[in-house]
Amino acid sequence: MKSGDNLSKLFEPCNIGSMELRNRLVMPPMGTNFSSEDGSVTQRAIEYYRERARGGVGLVIVEGAYVHPLGKGSNLQMSLTGDDKIPGLSKLAKAIQAEGAKAAIQLFHAGRQVSSMIIGAQPVSASDVPCMLVRETPRPMTLEEIEETIEAFGEAARRVKVAGFDAVEIHAAHGYLINQFLSPLTNLRRDKYGGSFEGRTRFLVEIIERIRRKVGKNFPVICRMNGSDFFEGGITLEEAKRIAQTAEAAGVDAIHVSGGIYDSENGEATAPMWLPRGFMVPLAQGIKKVVNVPVIAVGRINDVKLAEKILEEGQADLVSMGRALIADPELPRKAMEGRLGEIRPCIACNEGCINMLLFLKSVTCVLNAAVGREEEFRIQPEKKPKKVLVVGGGVGGMEFARVAALRGHRVSLYEKTMELGGQVLLASVPSYKYELRSIVPYFKHELERLGVSIHLGEEISESKIYELEPEVVCIATGSSLVLPSIPGIDGGNVVLATDVLAGKAQVGEKVVILGGGEIGLETGYHLAEQGKKVTIIEQMKRVATEMIPAFNYYVRHKFAGFGGKLITQAKVVEVTSEGAIYEKEGQRNLEKADTVVVALGTVQNRSLYENLKDKFPEVYLVGDAAERGKIMNAIHSAAETARKI
Ligand SMILES: Cc1cc2nc3c(=O)[nH]c(=O)nc-3n(C[C@H](O)[C@H](O)[C@H](O)COP(=O)(O)O)c2cc1C
């Protein structure tokens, strides 16, 4: 493999202690929930990691695996608690190494950041400071328990080495147990494990020393820590620099600089799309200035050119790309071969990955339906390629066309507008969702590369389909907002939210939005950000419940910050030239507005499908037209269906 000229630093070999890496790209630890109930490694996990190693990354740090039963963080988390886990771990290490990557694994203890439902006991911590997200108060660890836990970290590291891994990482970041000891916010102890800086770092230092004793001098040990807790009263960069120096003095070979705890407002640890790319790099850079061991940067570095720049400018020695490798395990290879346009982007939507873990499900990816089913989803070339016609150029249609073309089918795609992208073009209009836009160039590039014949501005009729004589028809015609039957809805002051987002509708200064679902809330955000006075009226108690909790919280708070108003449990009964009349608690009220924006009532555009389904042997309905929902449903249903044709 040849490195693209402009990414030469990224693809330069480097060392962490005695471990030589083929490049400076690291897959950071990311929980998958692919393990069995007792925490053993499964074949599913092996295939998932093998795929990432095969893609060309230098170092794979396998997900945080718990070292003690009280430290378990999720229902199907990997375990390092007993020697019985070693054979499975060995297979995993070998699978990664066989692809030329080095294999490490992270030692994890959740401390207070876990529900008692998972561990079957009250969570433990440095002190009894509750976690707001988990909403439980932990129990301070006794001195005996601290010693038992230090030994558990040491034993876990020994197992990692025996299993044949190349390195081990200590999880001292993200508000988990070690972070709880390090932070003055969560460590209120008055014994030797608390109080002074020395007291608060003692737990980490003793863990490092115990691990060293168990694994010997030459086995690489990485310490993952927070460059900032992003929480008032927590660890700051200045304190983090001292912690990093302390960890280095205790014997670690590299520092992996992340940030954030569960209670951080923006979820920095798994930064959502509204945080800027590479926003934590200054933390790594600050720490790099005060230590001599290599420093790894992480956090929304979803672009290889940015990764190269970070290395080039000496801000860090290695770069982690996490969700980007869930989205596209082949990212390193594609980058190395100069095939940047082929990289499936991570849009930091968190829907398929961290949000799944939050609900104790296994990880997937909105854009990559193959995650966790790598073997089953391997593209099988079709021996008898068919003529495939795709109607609709939204994400569902594009994914269907992409997969069908990859399998060797002859694919044409018809889109009635002049642009590919469908709903994504509108969904990416609110400023905080700009990342979503990168989906479209990726698909365009792939469809062109795979020889899909794309017809824009052509609305396809039933007769045209007969004329084209396809063997397979995929209907991906999406859904549309419609005007509900409310008196006055046909007034000149009424517009559809989709037309507002598309920039096609004139909107006055004072706006009422009918419907507080995702479209309504996001349109409200978009207009309120422009300085308009916006009120959203929603019939239910909560708005936009289909959004993931972190995003719902963020958008609601920003909307309120822009001066937006929410009226919930209210029913709009009439629209007049003055605004919208709604009923709430038996009262009729008028919410004055220059413009009334409609964001409720959708129809699935299925008529073409209904007309064709009994006339063609292979007609498929995918995307919103099949099941109104999220980008993930559209892409996954298309990816699954196109593999079967
Ligand atoms: C699904 C998921 C699981 C994660 N699990 C862990 C973990 O077990 N240990 C850890 O230190 N970080 C974990 N992280 C954080 C990642 O290692 C990484 O720091 C974060 O995703 C930001 O990097 P990125 O923007 O490149 O994805 C997880 C992130 C995700 C998305």
Q: How far does the centroid of ligand 1 lie from the alpha carbon of residue 322, in Å?
A: 6
Q: How far does the centroid of ligand 1 lie from the alpha carbon of residue 271, in Å?
A: 9
Instruction: Indicate which residue's Cα is closest to atom 24 of ligand 1.
Output: 322
CB 530 within 8 A of CB 613: no
CA distance 113 to 172: 13
Q: Would you place residue 475 in the very low, low, confident or very high pLDDT band (cuts 50, 70, 90)?
A: very high
Tokens matching residue 223: 């310490």
Q: Which of 615, 636, 597 is nearest to 500 (CA)?
A: 597
Strand 410-415 and strand 453-456: the pairing is parallel
Q: Is the pLDDT of residue 231 over 60?
A: yes
pTM: 0.96
Residues having CB closer than 6 A to ligand 1 are: 28-31, 63-64, 106, 171, 173-174, 224, 258, 269-271, 298-301, 320-324, 353-354, 357, 363
**Structure confidence by residue, pLDDT tens digits, 157-192:** 999 999 999 999 999 999 999 999 999 999 999 999
Q: Is the pLDDT of residue 222 over 90?
A: yes
CA distance 225 to 215: 21
> Candidates 113, 177, 230, 270: which one to mutate for ligand 1, based on the most atoms within 8 Å of Cβ?
270
What Cα–Cα distance (Å) separates residue 64 from each residue in 110, 299, 392?
Answer: 10, 17, 41
Burial readout 131-150 (b: 16 or more C-beta within 10 A, e: otherwise): bebbebebbbbeeeebeebb
Q: Which uninterrupted H or E stretch holds 572?
A: strand 571-576
CB 219 within 8 A of CB 213: no
Q: What is the mean pLDDT of residues 127-151?
A: 97
Q: Identify any residues that bridge with 224 across adjacent strands, giving them in sequence order.
A: 171, 256
Q: What percent of the chain has pLDDT over 90?
A: 95
Signed CA dihedral, 265, 270, 275, 281: sign only: positive
Q: What percent of the chain has pLDDT over 70?
A: 99
Question: In 10 A of CB 578, how many CB atoms?
Answer: 14
- Which residues lie closer than 8 Å to 464 by C-beta, 6 or more apart? none
Least confident of 466-475, 490-499, 615-624: 615-624
Tokens 């073997």 found at: 375
CB 519 within 8 A of CB 599: yes
DSSP 8-class letter at 131: B
**Structure confidence by residue, pLDDT tens digits, 323-343:** 999 999 999 999 999 999 999
Tokens matching residue 332: 């390193």
Judging by beta carbons within 10 Å of its beta carbon (0-12, 13-18, 19+), is residue 473 exposed, middle or buried?
buried
Strand 602-604 and strand 479-481: the pairing is antiparallel
Instruction: Indicate which residue's Cα is closest to atom 22 of ligand 1.
Output: 299
CA distance 570 to 234: 41
Least confident of 1-5, 54-58, 185-189: 1-5
Q: How far does the centroid of ligand 1 lie from the alpha carbon of residue 259, in Å?
A: 11
How crowded is the C-beta side of 641, counted as CA atoms within 13 Å?
26
CA distance 508 to 493: 9
Closest ligand 1 atom number to CA of residue 300? 25
CB 375 within 8 A of CB 52: no
The catalytic site residues sit at: 176
Q: What is the pLDDT of residue 617?
A: 85
Q: Would you place residue 359 in the very low, low, confident or very high pLDDT band (cuts 50, 70, 90)?
A: very high
Closest ligand 1 atom number to CA of residue 321? 26
Tokens matching residue 261: 């705890």
Which stretches of 374-417 are assigned E, i.e. beta strand?
Answer: 387-391, 410-415
Q: What is the pLDDT of residue 626?
A: 86
Q: Is the pLDDT of residue 4 over 70?
A: no
Q: How far does the centroid of ligand 1 lie from the alpha carbon of residue 59, in Å?
A: 15
Q: Would you place residue 602 in the very low, low, confident or very high pLDDT band (cuts 50, 70, 90)?
A: confident
Residue-averaged pLDDT of the chain: 96
Q: What is the pLDDT of residue 486?
A: 94
Instruction: Indicate which residue's Cα is closest to atom 11 of ligand 1.
Output: 29
Distance of CA 513 to the CA centre of its chain: 30
Q: What is the pLDDT of residue 112?
A: 98
Q: Is the pLDDT of residue 3 over 80?
A: no
Q: Which of 388, 440, 442, 391 is nearest to 625 (CA)?
A: 391
Instruction: Indicate which residue's Cα is closest to atom 31 of ligand 1.
Output: 354
Q: Which of 207, 215, 214, 220 is nearest to 167 (CA)?
A: 220
Q: Would you place residue 5 in the very low, low, confident or very high pLDDT band (cuts 50, 70, 90)?
A: low
Q: Which of 14, 13, 16 is nearest to 253 (CA)?
A: 16
Q: Which of 528, 516, 526 is nearest to 552 (CA)?
A: 516
The alpha carbons of the chain give a radius of gyration, in whole angstroms, of 27
CB 65 within 8 A of CB 106: yes
Q: Is the pLDDT of residue 473 over 50?
A: yes
**Structure confidence by residue, pLDDT tens digits, 614-628:** 888 899 999 988 887
Q: Would you place residue 23 in the very low, low, confident or very high pLDDT band (cuts 50, 70, 90)?
A: very high
Question: In 10 A of CB 462, how many CB atoms?
Answer: 12
Q: How far does the centroid of ligand 1 lie from the alpha carbon of residue 428, in Å?
A: 24
Q: What is the mean pLDDT of residues 563-591?
A: 97
Q: What is the mean pLDDT of residues 421-444?
A: 95
Q: What is the mean pLDDT of residues 9-23?
A: 97
Instruction: Indicate which residue's Cα is closest to atom 21 of ligand 1.
Output: 270
Determine the 3-state secondary structure of 551 from DSSP: helix
**Structure confidence by residue, pLDDT tens digits, 76-131:** 999 999 999 999 999 999 999 999 999 999 999 999 999 999 999 999 999 999 99
Tokens 């040491």 found at: 154
CA distance 335 to 343: 8
CB 538 within 8 A of CB 580: no
